[in-house]
Amino acid sequence: MKYLDEYRDHRIVRALAAEIAQCTTRPWVLMEICGGQTHTIMRYGLDDLLPRNIEIVHGPGCPVCVTPLETVDKAIALSMLPEVILVSYGDMLRVPGSHSDLFRAKAQGADVRVAYSPMEAVKIARANPDHKVVFLSIGFETTAPANAMAAWQARREDLTNFSMLVSHVLVPPAIRALMVSRSNRVQGFIAPGHVCTVVGCKDYEFLVRDFRVPIVVGGFEPVDILEAVFMLVKQLEAGEAKLENQYVRSVSYQGNLPAQKVVAEVFEVADQKWRGIGPIPQSGLRLRKEYADYDADRIFDLGEITVDEPAECISAQVLQGLKKPTDCPVFGMRCTPENPLGAPMVSTEGACAAYYHYRRHALVHSGD
Ligand code: SF4
């Protein structure tokens, strides 16, 4: 297939769903990791096309959703400093911290700017030598190369008024944490295609080897996702555990080596707290000591910020595939995209927002 509409062709989608149904003999629980894949599953109702004994649960692959509350609170605190220009991707502005969000900080006079690329933040720093420009550097392996390039460029130019508040997360250690959890129900994973475009399939081999769990790297269109499900079900039914690549048009075994090089030059692997999940060993990135002068955490003394999630938000269980958004008692009532209580309701990639936008809440509240 060559064209996008072919990957959305309902005849191919239905044929794949029929093949999956034919080869499924018992219940399987599969998890898609990436928020983009969650979005596609909800948008096209792919889970409804699958046989009843295949359950799709949604993983922690929305970068906004897993950014710790503490990071959001720190970004808000930094934005309120008179000398600071806080630059962020647009999605982060509405993410609720413990008391406020960056939109409200902006309304209160903070200089908060939206960027589509981290190099825009470098440009803002260049144009505003009297200000300290802080870029909120978040995301998975997908955004790490561009964010690393921003720090690399700032260092190359010796820009002294640019820094980054870093909260980067890595997918394979999160899958490992899910697999070692006593409550894990997941028997097969659709790995995130965009992440693997950068890091390649190779980073997932240890998971298949150590946990004997099938993993298929999948794309983001309906045909991609059902094909990945089909590949997983065939492995599970045959008692196999292999790493396979459905998204061959984008992902190679080695990944993007120049991108990996710049990430390795700027960042190093570190322990990381995930919102809703907690700390996961060696699951994040932090700036290397050579880039300490660009580390907002070191430059600004904000003290220790620790906060708790809102008690009624069950995002921890949603992000680990233990519950569905519709299991949350406040879903679609006290928690909506307009008034999100937790991060999975904020981002378009969040599982709660995807369920809400594609009217899964209507089914719940009508009792169907
Ligand atoms: S619906 Fe809202 S409160 Fe419930 S888990 Fe999702 S984000 Fe949290």
23-71 pLDDT tens trace:
999 999 999 999 999 999 999 999 999 999 999 999 988 888 899 889 9
Instruction: Indicate whether 366 pLDDT > 70.
Output: no
Return d(Cα 205, Cα 210) in angstroms, integer: 9
Q: Which residues touch 250 (CB under 8 Å, ≥6 apart)? A: 193, 194, 197, 219
pLDDT digits (tens, 9 = 90+) for 290-332: 999 999 999 998 777 667 777 889 988 998 889 999 999 999 9
Verify that 98 and 143 share a domain, yes or no. Answer: yes
Q: Using CA positions, which residue lies closest to atom 8 of ligand 1? A: 313
Q: Using CA positions, which residue lies closest to atom 3 of ligand 1? A: 313
Verify that 108 and 181 share a domain, yes or no. Answer: no
111 residue type, one letter: D
Instruction: Indicate whether 74 pLDDT > 90.
Output: yes
Verify that 152 and 205 share a domain, yes or no. Answer: no
Verify that 212 and 358 share a domain, yes or no. Answer: no
Domain membership flag for residue 307: no
Q: What is the CATH number of the domain that holds 195?
A: 3.40.50.11750
Domain membership flag for residue 261: yes
Contact 307, 341 (CB under 8 A): no
Verify that 56 and 83 share a domain, yes or no. Answer: no
pLDDT of res. 361: 56
Instruction: Specify the ligand 1 atom closest to the Cα of 351.
Output: 6
Distance 92 CA to ligand 1 centre (A): 17
Domain membership flag for residue 114: yes
Domain membership flag for residue 263: yes
Percent of the chain surpassing pLDDT 70: 97
Return d(Cα 46, Cα 50) in angstroms, integer: 7
Verify that 162 and 266 share a domain, yes or no. Answer: yes
Domain membership flag for residue 309: no
pLDDT of res. 338: 87
Contact 208, 178 (CB under 8 A): no
Lowest-pLDDT range of 35-49, 213-227, 262-276, 329-343? 329-343
Instruction: Indicate whether 360 pLDDT > 70.
Output: no
Domain membership flag for residue 19: yes
Domain end call among 245, 271, 291: 245
Verify that 175 and 165 share a domain, yes or no. Answer: no
Distance 240 CA to ligand 1 centre (A): 36
Verify that 161 and 180 share a domain, yes or no. Answer: no
Q: Which residues touch 172 (CB under 8 Å, ≥6 apart)? A: 203, 204, 206, 207
Banded pLDDT at 368 (limits 50, 70, 90): very low
Question: Structurally, how many domains does the chain consist of?
Answer: 3
pLDDT of res. 339: 86
Furthest-apart CA atoms within the chain: distance in Å: 66
Verify that 82 and 161 share a domain, yes or no. Answer: yes
Contact 232, 180 (CB under 8 A): no
DSSP 8-state assignment for residue 90: G
pLDDT of res. 311: 83
Verify that 8 and 125 share a domain, yes or no. Answer: no
| Entry pTM | 0.92
Q: Using CA positions, which residue lies closest to atom 1 of ligand 1? A: 331
The phi and psi torsions of 114 (rounded to 5 degrees) equal -95, 135
Domain membership flag for residue 310: no
Verify that 182 and 294 share a domain, yes or no. Answer: no
Instruction: Indicate whether 364 pLDDT > 70.
Output: no
- Ligand 1 pocket check for 318: Cβ under 6 Å: yes
pLDDT of res. 31: 97
Tell me how far CA of residue 84 lies from CA of 63, 108, 162, in angstroms: 24, 14, 10
Round the CA-based radius of gyration of the chain to a whole number and report it: 21
- β partners of residue 189: 31, 215
Report helix, strand or coil for 137.
strand
Return d(Cα 160, Cα 11) in angstroms, integer: 57
Distance 156 CA to ligand 1 centre (A): 43
Verify that 150 and 26 share a domain, yes or no. Answer: no
Tell me how far CA of residue 15 lies from CA of 5, 20, 24, in angstroms: 16, 9, 14
- Ligand 1 pocket check for 200: Cβ under 6 Å: no
Tell me how far CA of residue 38 lies from CA of 47, 145, 233, 256, 329, in angstroms: 10, 24, 18, 24, 21
Q: Where are the beta strands (DSSP E) in the chain?
A: 28-34, 54-61, 84-88, 111-114, 132-139, 162-169, 188-192, 215-218, 243-245, 267-274, 278-287
Range of the domain at 347: 315-366
Domain membership flag for residue 330: yes
